[in-house]
Amino acid sequence: MKNIGIIGAGVAGLHLGLQLRQNGIPVTIYTNRTSEQVREGRVMNSVAHMHVTLDLESDLGIDHWPGDEYRYISHYHYNGWGEERSYAGEFTSPSRTLDYRIYLPRLMEDFTDRGGVIEYRDLSAGEIHALTDVHDLVVVSTGKGEIGAMFPKRADKSPYDRPQRKLAVGFWHGVARRDPNGVEISVIPGVGELLAIPMWSFSGPVMALLFESVPGGPQEVLTDQRFEDDPEAYRELTLEMLRTHHPTVMERINVEEFRIQSDKDILQGGVTPVLREDYVPLPNGKFLLALGDVHLTVDPVQAQGANAAAYSARVVGDAILEDDVFDERFMQKVASRRGERIEAANDWINTMIHNPPLPQIPALFTAMAANQALADEFTENFNYPIRQVDLLGSEARVSAAIERAATRAAVPAR
Amino acid sequence: MKNIGIIGAGVAGLHLGLQLRQNGIPVTIYTNRTSEQVREGRVMNSVAHMHVTLDLESDLGIDHWPGDEYRYISHYHYNGWGEERSYAGEFTSPSRTLDYRIYLPRLMEDFTDRGGVIEYRDLSAGEIHALTDVHDLVVVSTGKGEIGAMFPKRADKSPYDRPQRKLAVGFWHGVARRDPNGVEISVIPGVGELLAIPMWSFSGPVMALLFESVPGGPQEVLTDQRFEDDPEAYRELTLEMLRTHHPTVMERINVEEFRIQSDKDILQGGVTPVLREDYVPLPNGKFLLALGDVHLTVDPVQAQGANAAAYSARVVGDAILEDDVFDERFMQKVASRRGERIEAANDWINTMIHNPPLPQIPALFTAMAANQALADEFTENFNYPIRQVDLLGSEARVSAAIERAATRAAVPAR
């Protein structure tokens, strides 16, 4: 019986482990954080699971959060230019948001309940190499520094050598949800984006405010000024940014109640986007397979990281189920099958965060304000990165999409 | 409305044209042979359409030959070594054989009936370039010499610089079909293969005898000696080869009736296998897309050429339907989607025709003689090149497959 080792207990590692346990395959997950440490740690992200990912979770039997309170159906757009600034796009089926400090510990519990083994250890690159003698296949789904660096960067798909946005995400009280529930996407030239994401955390509903700030622009201070140094000053600064740049979010704020509950509910930093090789050969003739963040690291602006990781885990899981030999052919098979969608997520995000903006992006956002079909298509495509790159990969593609949407539904935007 | 040009009226070009016409898209097919010339010409191949291809034809509404007389369900194997030499594998669903001089003219008729345009012209490479100004997309699905050479050979997937088998295929009367109907696969070390394929031609049932002869071996004379020079001598030579090397086919021959009906019912030659780049850029900023034989040329020993071409046509057709811009992204999308299966067909065939035989192939064929599940798996995999390479891509993979099949069904072969 094949025996699989997985490095990392994030969404990718846990999804893969759960699928393999559903099929009776021995799996060990290696992580350096217990579920208690995850639960009590710092906020990890403000991720949304699109309906394609919820379908994967349904297959895995981990749909523990079916309620409407975790779900949203709309994107509320605000463009910082033009006459028509506000419009909305609608998904065909809702997305789900849930604090990963709730989500991941529950999946760890599911995994061990199903007979999966979790070993709590720090692992060096050398120790990971040695695990290939213990397991038929070792999948590396997390790891910064030397572990990520085992997988060479793909120069053809990694255009940036530094973060294109400075990031700050906090879980805030005092921001009203829209009805129907949705994510606010406020895009301001020269400033960056604000995503207001209705999130569910330990205390119930909160609003994740994800500030994506253009380096050198007026909003980057929300990343540079550390929250912990002076929480009240940071709160005031946040309100100032909202008043100045993001009116449609500001109007939903009850200033009296506007606050971050805990020092652990805010994360500041930045991401250098990178797509790494799918696998690396080792001196013992075996291979390591990359999964999740180790393989694809994206800026969070389009909420694709976790969705790409879950998709990739399914491809890897299916390939493991159908194969008994984990040679280079296996590795190439995985690379071939996930390549189109993973590269599309990568290309889509890297198109969105280009500085200065690529010309088709403001063209698309302007057109969406006047065309409901196009706004809905852009929204629904958060499930389908391939279609999204088809839509916005170039000026010619945006022109074609505008023309197509105009003939399809000449109705004004919501 | 997008407007597509297709060079070539073989199975790939016609399947693509028919799919596009089903969806109302303007299509012109360019060919230098009328359907009358095809019908009255030389036999083109001895191809079988596997059930996955029949499913594609059903979607296209071109299932004009539903009868059992066109279908077979089994592979009858004969190994030229060992104690257990004869065994059979069974498909889950039948394959179909039909003379392409009947098949292609009917599809050309379907295509024009559906409003497709056929232009009868010889085209140079330069004229094909010029067609990219007339059509939004030009797909090149046939063409030898300078036209094929427009698409660079992929060195990583084209291991041979000359044919690995000398080929001779004739449509013979006087060879009895098996019951249930099936293809005989006779494999003789140092000699090559004989495939006896129950075919349907103008006169009804015939047997295609496809001799795949190792260069320098005793059977190559069937390619080197031209049939037309002395048909009776060629017939005698064929009988001699059958008696000497292929007993399970010989025993089905009625020598009195054994004959080729027409000079046009035999084809002698050889194929240098090659996988070419999916597309090439042109000086005008457009691209040419390769399809069918122009893209992938395989030895006919595993009957994959037409099946791969039909699969590839569907991938291209689906991509055309979903896209409006035929830029490099479109080309890469097609390459990414069809890559795994096309490369698998290529790798499978090139593994089978290696000289000398790769060690896992006689190991597999010996094991199949003793294991029905394995023989059935190898047979059914003629529909699934990816699974076939999973099965036989290396010694380790064949060992794993033998072990898996043994635990699955410890029953003797038919």
- What would the pLDDT profile of B367-411 be if each residue is shown by its tens digit? 999 999 999 999 999 999 999 999 999 999 999 999 998 887 555
The pLDDT value recorded for residue A143 is 72
B396 chain-A contacts, CB cut-off 8 A:
325, 327
DSSP letters, B3-69, are -EEEE--SHHHHHHHHHHHHTT--EEEEESS-HHHHHTS------EE-HHHHHHHHHHT-----SGG
Nearest chain B residue to A332 by CA distance is B340
- What would the pLDDT profile of B277-298 be if each residue is shown by its tens digit? 999 999 999 999 999 999 999 9
Q: Distance between CA atoms of A296 and A339, rounded to whole angstroms?
A: 11
A396 chain-B contacts, CB cut-off 8 A:
325, 327
A389 chain-B contacts, CB cut-off 8 A:
329
Q: Distance between CA atoms of B158 and B334, rounded to whole angstroms?
A: 20
Nearest chain B residue to A389 by CA distance is B329
Q: What's the gap in Å between the CA of B322 and the closest CA on chain A? A: 9
CB atoms B397 and A329 under 8 Å: yes
Which of B324, B333, B401 has its CB closest to that of A340? B333
Dig out the tokens for B401 from the structure.
Answer: 């497959």
CA torsion sign, B172 to B173 to B175 to B176?
Answer: positive
Nearest chain A residue to B330 by CA distance is A390
| Percentage of the residues of chain B whose pLDDT score is greater than 90 | 95
> Pairing between strand A192-201 and A204-213?
antiparallel
Residue B334 pLDDT more than 60? Answer: yes
Dig out the tokens for A381 from the structure.
Answer: 């495509």
B393 chain-A contacts, CB cut-off 8 A:
329
Chains A & B: contacts with CB separation below 8 Å: 54
Interface with chain B: mutation pick from A136, A333, A398, A403, highest number of B CBs within 10 Å: A333
Banded model confidence at residue A53, pLDDT cuts 50, 70, 90: very high
In terms of C-beta density within 10 A (0-12 exposed, 13-18 middle, 19 or more buried), how is residue A68 classed? exposed
For chain B, give the mean pLDDT.
96
Q: What's the gap in Å between the CA of A400 and the closest CA on chain B? A: 7
The pLDDT value recorded for residue A408 is 73
CATH topology of domain B4-47+99-160+272-352: FAD/NAD(P)-binding domain (3.50.50)
Nearest chain A residue to B333 by CA distance is A340
Dig out the tokens for A404 from the structure.
Answer: 């197509």
B389 chain-A contacts, CB cut-off 8 A:
329
Cβ neighbours of residue B62 under 8 Å, at least 6 residues apart? B18, B106, B107, B110
The pLDDT value recorded for residue A144 is 75
The pLDDT value recorded for residue B144 is 75
- What would the pLDDT profile of A395-404 be if each residue is shown by its tens digit? 999 999 999 9
Where in chain A is CATH 3.50.50.60? Answer: 4-47+99-160+272-352
CB atoms B337 and A340 under 8 Å: yes
Residue corresponding to tokens 């992200």:
A45
Banded model confidence at residue A173, pLDDT cuts 50, 70, 90: very high
CB atoms B390 and A322 under 8 Å: yes
Where in chain B is CATH 3.30.9.40? Answer: 166-270
Average pLDDT over residues A14-24: 98
Nearest chain B residue to A1 by CA distance is B404
Contacts of range A194-199, beta carbons closer than 8 Å, 24 or more positions apart: A194/A242, A194/A245, A194/A246, A194/A249, A195/A46, A195/A301, A195/A303, A196/A249, A196/A252, A197/A46, A197/A48, A197/A97, A197/A303, A198/A72, A198/A97, A199/A46, A199/A97, A199/A98, A199/A99, A199/A171
Average pLDDT over residues B95-122: 98
- What would the pLDDT profile of B22-51 be if each residue is shown by its tens digit? 999 999 999 999 999 999 999 999 999 999
Which of A336, A396, A397 has its CB closest to that of B339? A336
The pLDDT value recorded for residue B114 is 98
Q: What's the gap in Å between the CA of A115 and the closest CA on chain B? A: 24
The pLDDT value recorded for residue A142 is 87
CB atoms A336 and B340 under 8 Å: yes
A393 chain-B contacts, CB cut-off 8 A:
329
The pLDDT value recorded for residue A412 is 53
Q: What's the gap in Å between the CA of A325 and the closest CA on chain B? A: 6
CB atoms B340 and A340 under 8 Å: no
B329 chain-A contacts, CB cut-off 8 A:
389-390, 393-394, 397
Question: In A200-291, where does DSSP find H-type helix?
Answer: 221-224, 231-245, 247-250
CB atoms A333 and B340 under 8 Å: yes
User: How much is the pTM?
Assistant: 0.95
Interface with chain A: mutation pick from B325, B388, B399, highest number of A CBs within 10 Å: B325
Average pLDDT over residues A152-175: 98
Nearest chain B residue to A333 by CA distance is B340
Query: Phi, psi (5° rounding) for residue B143?
Result: 140, 120
Which of A325, A343, A387 has its CB closest to that of B397? A325
Q: What's the gap in Å between the CA of B2 and the closest CA on chain A? A: 11
- What would the pLDDT profile of B242-279 be if each residue is shown by its tens digit? 999 999 999 999 999 999 989 999 999 999 999 999 99
The pLDDT value recorded for residue A91 is 98
Q: What's the gap in Å between the CA of A394 and the closest CA on chain B? A: 9
Q: What's the gap in Å between the CA of B410 and the closest CA on chain A? A: 18
CB atoms A325 and B389 under 8 Å: no
The pLDDT value recorded for residue A409 is 59
The pLDDT value recorded for residue B408 is 73
Banded model confidence at residue B309, pLDDT cuts 50, 70, 90: very high
- What would the pLDDT profile of B187-200 be if each residue is shown by its tens digit? 999 999 999 999 99
Q: How many Cβ atoms sit within 10 Å of the Cβ of residue A136?
A: 17
- What would the pLDDT profile of A323-369 be if each residue is shown by its tens digit? 999 999 999 999 999 999 999 999 999 999 999 999 999 999 999 99
CB atoms A340 and B336 under 8 Å: yes
Q: Distance between CA atoms of B368 and A105, rounded to whole angstroms?
A: 48
Q: What's the gap in Å between the CA of B286 and the closest CA on chain A? A: 13
Residue B201 pLDDT more than 80? Answer: yes
Residues on B contacting A at a C-beta cutoff of 8 Å: 322-325, 327, 329, 333, 336-337, 339-340, 343, 386-387, 389-390, 393-394, 396-397, 400-401, 404
Q: What's the gap in Å between the CA of A413 and the closest CA on chain B? A: 23
For chain A, give the mean pLDDT.
96
Tell which CATH classification among 3.40.50.2000, 3.30.9.40, 3.40.50.1000, 1.10.357.10 matches the domain A166-270: 3.30.9.40
The pLDDT value recorded for residue B145 is 79
ipTM: 0.92
Average pLDDT over residues B61-67: 97
Q: What's the gap in Å between the CA of B123 and the closest CA on chain A? A: 30
Banded model confidence at residue B414, pLDDT cuts 50, 70, 90: low
Banded model confidence at residue A145, pLDDT cuts 50, 70, 90: confident
The pLDDT value recorded for residue A1 is 84
> Pairing between strand A137-140 and A4-7?
parallel
Could you give the dihedral angle defined by the CA atoms of residues B323, B325, B328 and B334, in that order, rounded to the nearest 10 degrees? 20
Which of A329, A394, A400 has its CB closest to that of B393? A329
- What would the pLDDT profile of A256-279 be if each residue is shown by its tens digit? 999 998 999 999 999 999 999 999
CB atoms A327 and B397 under 8 Å: yes
| Percentage of the residues of chain A whose pLDDT score is greater than 70 | 99
Which of B324, B327, B333 has its CB closest to that of A404? B324
Q: What's the gap in Å between the CA of B1 and the closest CA on chain A? A: 10
A360 chain-B contacts, CB cut-off 8 A:
none
CB atoms B329 and A390 under 8 Å: yes
CB atoms B390 and A336 under 8 Å: no
The pLDDT value recorded for residue B1 is 84
Write the CA distances from B74 to A18, A391, B379, B386, integer angstroms: 40, 47, 8, 20
Which of B327, B386, B396 has its CB closest to that of A394? B327
Average pLDDT over residues B321-345: 97
